[in-house]
Amino acid sequence: MDAAALLSPDQLLAAIAGRLAEPFPLITWARELGDLHAALISAVLNRRPSEVTEAALYADIAKVIDKINSWAASYVRHSRCARRHTHTFGEVISHVAKTYAEAWWTVLHSDCEELRHSAWVHLSEVRDGYEHLIGDIRAGRVQLPLGWRGIRNAPQEDC
């Protein structure tokens, strides 16, 4: 598999929404990120004691991002002479999933038509950005970083 097999923007949005169920890891992970970001919105806004904490959701999101980054290290084209991108492939997929979840939450829960419209516009911009990124990856114009989870409080076995 190579960069030509990456999910198109429409496939990615369908995967995040759970409307694409092919047995492909990237589809599964995109759906997981969509679900996790939706749960995070609920956890942040409800502020009620819950079985799932914000910290646990963030940790689960980071784990899925790591899985995508590991997959991308093997399957996404790396061009040494290309400009460097600021985010890993997993971070990009997570950002699309987060934006999708936030846009849908806004559309379903806001009475403000202008706010709902701006949520859709923002989702469209993120979708277009992903489309351009995929084009740049396929053309060898961009190199994605491999990833680093950053500073975290983790058990020694994660080292």
**What tens digit of pLDDT does each residue of 92-122 get?**
999 999 999 999 999 999 999 999 999 999 9
Predicted local confidence at residue 49, as pLDDT: 65
CA distances from 151 to 17, 62, 106, 120, 154 (A): 31, 12, 31, 33, 9
The mean pLDDT of 64-72, rounded to a whole number, is 94
pTM: 0.88
